[in-house]
Structure 1
Amino acid sequence: MGISPCVPSRIGRKVPIPHDAELYRLRHRIENMIARLKDCRRIATRYDRCPILVLPACAVAATVIYLCKSCL
């Protein structure tokens, strides 16, 4: 499929495997945002099964997360 891993190898590994640090940083940001979205109960429990309703709910939750983060 042409997909390459971007997770760094463990610190104690004798021969470290090279990885793309910038790609890993972006991947980590996305995973953190998904974890924050799952804090929203409506998103985590999937009350809305239809994608037409889920995507706006995710957008509203992401906006609230962004606004609350910028207030701190």
Structure 2
Amino acid sequence: MPPTQVLIHGNVKWGTPLMLAAPSVALDLPLRVLVRDDCQGSTRASFHTAAELESAHSLPPRRAAGCGAAAGS
């Protein structure tokens, strides 16, 4: 397996309002980013975007983006 790490970032100030708005968002918090080397020697980062979190948990648009979720991948 190539070098791989999962970075975890959480903040009560951001996460609590999201979980109050949509309790199911707790399944995706704290935010996680998978960082790995691919077979060609490049480093890849994978994560759920703010739009994906909003869609998956029926949050109002821009709600997750304002709370520190990544805007894009």
Q: Same fold (TM over 0.5)?
A: no
Structure 2 length normalisation: TM-score?
0.26
Which structure has more strand as a fraction of its residues? 2
Tell me: higher relative CO, structure 1 or 2? Use CA pairs within 8 A at least 6 residues apart. 2
